[in-house]
Amino acid sequence: MALFLYRYLNKVDRKGRVSVPASFRASLAGQNIAGIIAFPSYTLPAIECFGSDRMERLSSSLDELDLFSARQNDLAMTLFADAQPLTFDGEGRIVLPQDLVGHAKITTQALFVGAGPTFQIWEPETFTRVKPEARERARSQGLTLKLKGGTGAAGDGQGNAP
């Protein structure tokens, strides 16, 4: 499973090319495409980026909704109609399409932000403004996660210590 951590600021060249961080590319190794699937976030002024395996899981999740229902159609259009495979060139760069650049308002720099199993690409100043707002919302709502089971951690996988 891919894991994307931290933030990386990279320059966007005149042709719209930007280098994907090496650690992100390493996390994507072994996927069906040598690149990413990118689409405009429908909740944030950012570009959402998935590996092909994550996008396939998202597609399978969509199959759980009633076929041809408004919910299924709305989510399919929102998530898949604008999703684009962006392949890495020989130097680990992708070309950011104009529609995605316009959505995120990216100009000369792109901030790659790890989000666990996915990552986002932001205009740096926008992220600097939005991040503290998100942290405050999480804090004020008391948001937490239950730790799922796995290897190397004590407890029952539900956040309970032995």
**CATH topology assigned to domain 7-141:** Chemotaxis protein chec (3.40.1550)
The pLDDT tens digits of the residues spanning 7-64 come to 999 999 999 999 999 999 999 998 888 999 999 998 999 999 999 999 999 999 998 8
CB 93 within 8 A of CB 24: no
Mean pLDDT, residues 57-79:
90
Domain boundaries, given as residue ranges, for the chain? 7-141
**Most distant CA pair in the chain, distance:** 56
CA dist 124 → 33, 85, 107, 120, 135 (Å):
27, 23, 10, 11, 17
> Stretch 70-92: mean pLDDT, rounded?
93
The type of residue at 73 is: N
Which residue, among 108, 127, 149, 111, has the nearest Cα to 24 in the 3D structure? 111
Residue range 86-108: average pLDDT?
97
Report pLDDT for 1.
77
Confidence of residue 117 (pLDDT cuts 50, 70, 90): very high
pLDDT at 159: 45
Residue with tokens 């999480």: 138
Q: What pLDDT, on a 0 to 100 scale, did the predictor assign at position 114?
A: 98
pLDDT at 156 over 70: no
Distance CA 116, CA 134 (A): 16
pTM of the model: 0.86
Cα–Cα dist 159/150, whole Å: 11
- Distance in angstroms between the alpha carbons of the first and the last residue of the chain: 27
Q: What is the pLDDT of residue 2?
A: 86
For residue 143, pLDDT beyond 80: yes
Mean pLDDT computed over every residue of the chain: 91
